[in-house]
């Protein structure tokens, strides 16, 4: 029963981890970390991402332009780009290791210690990827809020607001954190038949008859 629960928890953790990886990739690629609507022309929306800036117009469509230099980007976007790329590597490695260490994979016998180590390592990597993503999107959100409520900026100046990528990044971090926690908890469950060796139960005692008595009894039976 415990083994079935452990296997189901591992499958749930792998599924949440996969969802977190997909959302994390979308967060990194989509240029919607910040958005800006001009009051003079509400039909035009500016979107700022980690790789490019896009302008959406209802008539002309969407036009994107990549950053000319990495150093020209705001500091929070520079750090977020590095951390998001690092989180992709951590999440993919964690998914690989946890998949190899789960009960679904087949290892040679007496290798359950290695599988346990791989599953724990995968869960730890997923937790690290989650912390990296949450730090990146939360820092960008904090800077956006500070700039939005800055009293030194005139009210007529447009302000950047939260983009859809920030919410997607928060969802990715929660998925990865939940998946990593499930993998670690399921691995720590007691493994039946591995921690304690089987011992033979008490059996009926055999009565051993000395050889001389056995011979005498057999001779007496023949005489009768």
User: Is 181 among the domain residues?
Assistant: yes
Q: What value does the mean pLDDT take over residues 138-145?
A: 94
Q: Is the pLDDT of residue 197 over 50?
A: no
pLDDT score recorded for residue 200: 44
**Cα dihedral sign, 163-29-45-70:** positive
What CA–CA distance (Å, rounded) separates 117 from 30?
Answer: 35
* DSSP-derived secondary structure letter, 194: T
| Environment class of 216 (CB within 10 Å of its CB; exposed 0-12, middle 13-18, buried 19+) | exposed
Contact criterion met (CB below 8 Å) for 62 and 54: yes
pLDDT at 56 (0 to 100): 86
- 218 domain-assigned: no
Confirm whether 93 is domain-assigned. Answer: yes
- Please state whether beta strands 61-66 and 52-57 pair in parallel, antiparallel, or not at all (unpaired): antiparallel
For the chain, how many structural domains are there in total?
1
Rg (CA), the chain: 32
For residue 164, being part of any structural domain is answered with yes
77-93, pLDDT tens digit by residue? 999 999 999 999 999 99
Q: To 10 degrees, what angle do helices 112-148 and 75-101 make?
A: 160
Q: Does 191 score more than 60 pLDDT?
A: no
Residue pair 119/62 in contact by the 8 Å Cβ criterion: no
In the chain, the percentage of residues whose pLDDT exceeds 70 is 79
Buried b or exposed e, range 85-111, using 16+ CB within 10 angstroms: eebbebbbbbbebbbbbbbeeeeeeee
- Predicted local distance difference test score (pLDDT) of residue 39: 65
Kindly state whether residue 92 falls inside one of the protein's structural domains: yes
Which residue reads 């001779």 in tokens?
A: 219
Q: Examine residue 116 and state whether it is found in any structural domain, yes or no.
A: yes
CA dist 21 and 219 (Å) reads 84
Judged against a pLDDT cut of 80, whether residue 142 lies above it is answered with: yes
pLDDT at 107: 64
Q: Is residue 222 part of a domain?
A: no
pLDDT of res. 4: 67
Integer Cα distance of 45 and 50 in angstroms? 17
Q: Is residue 121's pLDDT more than 90?
A: yes
Q: What percent of the chain has pLDDT over 90?
A: 46
CA distance 62 to 189: 51
Alpha-carbon distance 206 to 182, whole Å? 51
Residue 179 lies in a domain: yes
Q: Which residues constitute the domain of residue 79?
A: 2-30+73-191
Q: DSSP letters along 75-117, please?
A: HHHHHHHHHHHHHHHHHHHHHHHHHHHSTTS---TT-HHHHHH
Residue with tokens 């008595």: 213
The tens digit of pLDDT for each residue in 158-184 reads: 888 999 999 999 999 999 999 999 999
For 174, the token pair is 């929660």
The pLDDT confidence band at residue 140, using thresholds 50, 70 and 90, is very high
Please, what is the average pLDDT of the chain? 81
Which CATH number covers residue 133?
Answer: 1.20.140.150
């Amino acid at each position: 029963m415990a083994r079935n629960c452990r296997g189901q928890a591992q499958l749930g953790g792998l599924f949440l981890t996969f969802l977190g990886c997909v959302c994390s990739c979308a967060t990194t690629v989509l240029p919607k970390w910040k958005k800006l609507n001009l009051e003079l022309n509400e039909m035009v929306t500016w979107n700022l991402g980690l790789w490019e800036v896009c302008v959406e117009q209802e008539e002309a469509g969407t036009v994107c332009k990549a950053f000319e230099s990495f150093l020209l980007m705001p500091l929070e976007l520079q750090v977020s780009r590095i951390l998001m790329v690092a989180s992709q590597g951590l999440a993919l490695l964690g998914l690989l290791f946890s998949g190899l260490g789960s009960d679904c994979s087949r290892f040679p016998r007496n290798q359950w210690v290695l599988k346990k180590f791989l599953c724990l390592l995968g869960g730890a990597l997923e937790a690290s990827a989650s912390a990296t993503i949450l730090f990146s999107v939360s820092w960008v959100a904090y800077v956006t809020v500070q700039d939005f409520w800055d009293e030194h900026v005139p009210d007529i100046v447009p302000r950047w607001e939260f983009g859809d990528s920030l919410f997607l990044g928060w969802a990715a971090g929660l998925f990865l954190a939940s998946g990593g926690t499930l993998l670690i908890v399921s691995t720590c469950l007691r493994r039946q038949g591995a921690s304690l060796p089987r011992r033979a139960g008490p059996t009926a005692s055999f009565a051993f008859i000395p050889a001389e008595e056995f011979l005498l009894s057999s001779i007496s039976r023949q005489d009768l």
